[in-house]
Amino acid sequence: MCPYTRCQSDNAFMRRMSSLAKDGNDVLIDVLARNFEISAETLCRLLKLPGQDVRAKVEDDYGSVLDLCTSLQTSPINGISAEADEVSRRTNFYGPNVIPVRKPKTFAKLMWMALKEPTLIILEIAAVVSLCLAIWNSFRAGADSSSHDWIEGLAIAIGVLVIVLVSAANDYGKERQFQVLQNKVREEHRISVIRNGVAVAVPVQNLVVGDLCQLKYGDIVPADGLVLQSHELMLDESSLTGESDPVRKDADIDCKLLSGTHVIEGSGKMLVLAVGLNSQTGSIYKMLGVVREKKASKVKKETDVKKQVAMIVVDGKHGITGNGLKTSEDSDVPLHAEKADDIERKQKNHSVFQNKLNIMAYKIGLLGFVCASATSTIIIVRFCVNNYGILKKPWRTEDITTIMDAIVVGITILVSAIPEGLPLAVTLTLAFSAKKMMADKNLVRHLFACETMGCATTICSDKTGTLTTNRMTVTEAWFGDKIRHAPFESSTYHKLAYEAIAINSGYASEVVPSLIGDMAEQRGNKTECALLQFVSSVGGDYSAIRVAHPEESFVKVYTFNSSRKSMTTVIAIPGGWRVFCKGAAEIVLAKCRSLRKEDGSLTDMTEKEAASISQQVITAMASNGLRTICVACKDIVGTVPPNFDDEAKVVDGLTCLAIFGIEDPVRPEVPKAIQRCQQAGVTVRMVTGDNVNTARAIARKCGIIPTGETDMDHEKSLVLEGQEFNSLVVDKSGRIDQDKLDLIWPRLRVLARSTPKDKFTLVEGIINSKVSKHREVVAVTGDGTNDAPALKKADVGFAMGMAGTDVAKEASDIIITDDNFSSIVKAIMWGRNIYDNVAKFLQFQLTVNVAALSVAIIAACSIGDTPLKAVPMLWVNMIQDTLGSLALATEPPGQALLERKPYGRKKRLISTTIGRNILGQGIYQSVVLLCILYCGPAYFDVYEKREIGHVVGQSPSQIYTLVFNTLVIMTSFNLINARCIHNEVNVFKGIFSNLYFPVLWTVMLITQVIVVEVGGIAFSTAPLTAEMWGVSLFFGVGSLLWYQVLRLLPIKWRKQRTTLSAVKIRSS
């Protein structure tokens, strides 16, 4: 069938349905009382056929698509009734359009996963061995023994249990947070349907069988169904078939649509036949569910699944293949098979910040392992030398207890050294920030994106709707004579232009008068809405024109896309066909060969005249920041239809009707937001499809390019068109020349007339560049389907919540719900706050680690024992880390965050300032603790005769307790210091802006008093005197004073010394 015949057949089919169902409501009234004639199972079997066989099967079984609609009690023109009872009836009969997501892990399962952590397994073994030895010793000692040997083993076990509970609670909260975010994303996903003849947007989960869906470029098909009407409808079915080539869909050749596939071009109407678990993606999910539920017969079930998938795979193009199906128990993606972009997303999930944390955690763990091994080895060696070498004692069974205790101490040091509180701190601050970011119009889809924004150095932003209001108005118009300004006067000669605008625009685009105020509501494409509003303002009636020319009467539609930069519609007229075209002014004007003057006369257009129009009209409008749109047409006379698939021939030799200048005002808050970005060291680049002069003018208004630009500024603020950019950075083989790109991107500020491929090239080039010292971290905004590759490639992808397509939203990390650039600035602030809060916690915890490890090793070498026992150290690791992370993770952001330069990709997580604070406080605490250990007995007149090597059941040491207590008190006061990571003077500034902090700090001190005074043998503590508490508090407050001393130490002394030397050389 030739293309023209196929189009005519498709449109004739719609016209026939229209005539048979002029009043869809009458059809519904006729059948509402009847039950549905077709079951869900029958519809599922129909949709398992190859796409090209579905239409024939419908005609064989039901007679026609109209008869199928009648059986489903719907209208192919007006859809179903909008009544809630009718929607509910269909949901009850055919099921909801919901596929259950994976159930979150239970709290018990999360506890089990925590128990399997390697370090905790070692502690669990140590607790069991300690308890077994205690029981053995008690058995040997007899019934009269009052040994307390079992207390330490039990205390270790309880400590492990509490750590497991905290870890499980942390993961449980994280899972719940993820569910909340996913639910929010699902609620935002809506689709346009026709009910009662009116187009309405409904949540995807409210879609029912019989609904008439309107699909457009960028949509994700929400259910399975049939194409009733299409205009160059092209789908990406790779998520189901694995085939990367686009698939054309129409009512005759291949009319089957599957949920989860992407509309990459064109538009169409779909009759919904299967929803939720009855769709083919739902069938896959059910099969995966069978595998998970029937583990006992896993092999058999996997074979069965393969057979069932093989049955679904009808052919490689229109069926579903089993390639990449995820059958693991922990599948997170029930809707689609796991594909290449899913793998890319998993790789991306390890953010710049998380990579730094992983590297640092590994180094800390390695250091902790070395220190723990050294401590245990030294204690055991000293015990053996003293016990068996010097004192010549024989081997006793009780000696195993001492050796085990030394091992436990080493394990405890290892557990304490590993920053186990770090994941908790990261999770808490991410959860806290994600919740707050929702209020700032940032819907976080992937939590890692929050922290990555703290490192962002570059933002590649769209123009329309992000930097501008996306509220477009025609302010200038040219009809072949001179540029006219709003308000415009009506003219009979303009009627052909009105017709061209009304017909050659998406019929979903409309201007609805507002019930409140004078501002009409623009629905659909905003550029088209501006043109339609112009038609209405000069007395035209675009609705009447559309009624006279319904969509089903169109002969051919070449839909707008990023490569065409135009839209063309062909209609039938007496004696032939009429072609309407509108699009980017310079592109459409280049296809014009004649000009219609304002008086209605036609004149030929020479190249010289076209160049003059381009300069005097298009450039003039664009220089004022206006988007320029050219409207043109031509008539094809004859009876033999041309080849409408030859677009180049059809859309050529046009007559220019008008050129419009459309204003899209810059959002009033954008210039200030961009200024804040620049102050924060973040470079903003505009990437737009608009004319280069329009883009330059808007960039000046936004502040991306300086207003009073000098030659030097021009050199720093480069403006390029996409084509020129490609010619400069892409070699003859089509590969990006990184060296050439590195010469351009640092100066590039505006990329105009760019394609999504240009955008991807720019983003990839900046990310891969090594010009910057700390490497660039790139954020990208996008709203179109073709922006998806750039959104995925970027470190953080922002999709527009209002103007963005479903595909763009799915590819993004954060959705800006108000499409406002200032929301991105807030995301930067929250990202830096996350970075700072985690850095604060690291400063806090690593100081404890330095002090504890130093004291443990030095004490082990000198006295063969450590004052920091297993249970007290578990207490520090458990309570201090948990409460400390909670206190620091909830610190709110401040404007000062935007006064610093970004961290970039390679800058160290621990800055010189933080390192100085950690080392300085660590030394202070270590010296204090060692002085108490060695000088304490004499000062406090407390002499405790203790054997080398700790003996289980021995009464707790008061000096050891004082060492432990002083460590905790100094740590508590150092928590206040930890809030300062940028050399701030006032450590108390803003301390009450986060109420969690003073409350948790007080709780830490109270619990410490209870542990010391009541803990006894269980915590290896002895009650302290008032004087000892005074000493602990004295040194705790001393850590605040010591911080002020540390502040005076030069951070960059080498640089200063070099500078001074240079001054001396110059002076000599």
Contact 1029, 969 (CB under 8 A): no
Mark residue 665 as left, alpha or beta (left: phi above 0; alpha: psi -120 to 50; beta: remaining). beta
b/e map 818-835, b = 16+ CB within 10 Å:
ebbbbbbbbbbbbbbbbb
Three-state SS string across 595-660, please?
EECCCCCEEECCHHHHHHHHHHHHHHHHHCCCEEEEEEEEEEECCCCCCCCCHHHHCCCEEEEEEE
Q: Which amino acid is at 47?
A: L
Q: C-alpha 659: how far from its chain's center? A: 40
Task: Say how far apart CA 875 and CA 862 lie, in whole Å.
Answer: 25
Start-to-end CA distance of the chain, whole Å, equals 92
Mark residue 941 as left, alpha or beta (left: phi above 0; alpha: psi -120 to 50; beta: remaining). left
Contact 274, 40 (CB under 8 A): yes
Closest-CA residue to 231 (of 508, 546, 558, 563): 558
Contact 878, 1013 (CB under 8 A): no
Closest-CA residue to 42 (of 85, 71, 75): 71
| Token code pair at residue 182 | 């996913």
DSSP run (H or E) holding 234: strand 224-236
* E strand segments, 699-765: 718-721, 748-752
Task: Say how far apart CA 528 and CA 433 lie, in whole Å.
Answer: 38
What is the set of active-site residues? 462
DSSP run (H or E) holding 761: helix 756-768
C-alpha angle 659-577-582 in degrees, rounded to nearest 5: 20
Task: Say how far apart CA 452 and CA 681 lie, in whole Å.
Answer: 15
Instruction: Identify the three-state secondary structure at position 308.
Output: helix
Task: Say how far apart CA 941 and CA 36 lie, in whole Å.
Answer: 94
Task: Say how far apart CA 950 and CA 944 lie, in whole Å.
Answer: 13
Contact 110, 116 (CB under 8 A): no
φ, ψ dihedrals at 741, nearest 5°? -65, -35
Nearest-10 Cα torsion for 426, 432, 433, 438 = 140
CB atoms under 10 Å from CB of 864, counted, come to 20
Task: Say how far apart CA 9 and CA 1 lie, in whole Å.
Answer: 10
Contact 67, 73 (CB under 8 A): no
Q: Which amino acid is at 298?
A: K
Task: Say how far apart CA 5 and CA 14 lie, in whole Å.
Answer: 14
Contact 664, 628 (CB under 8 A): no
| Token code pair at residue 587 | 């592109």
Contact 3, 643 (CB under 8 A): yes
510-512/483-485 β-pairing? unpaired
| Token code pair at residue 467 | 């930097």
C-alpha separations of 144 from 140, 151, 387, 964, 1038 in Å? 11, 17, 28, 33, 49
C-alpha separations of 784 from 37, 239, 345, 565, 689 in Å? 40, 18, 19, 14, 12
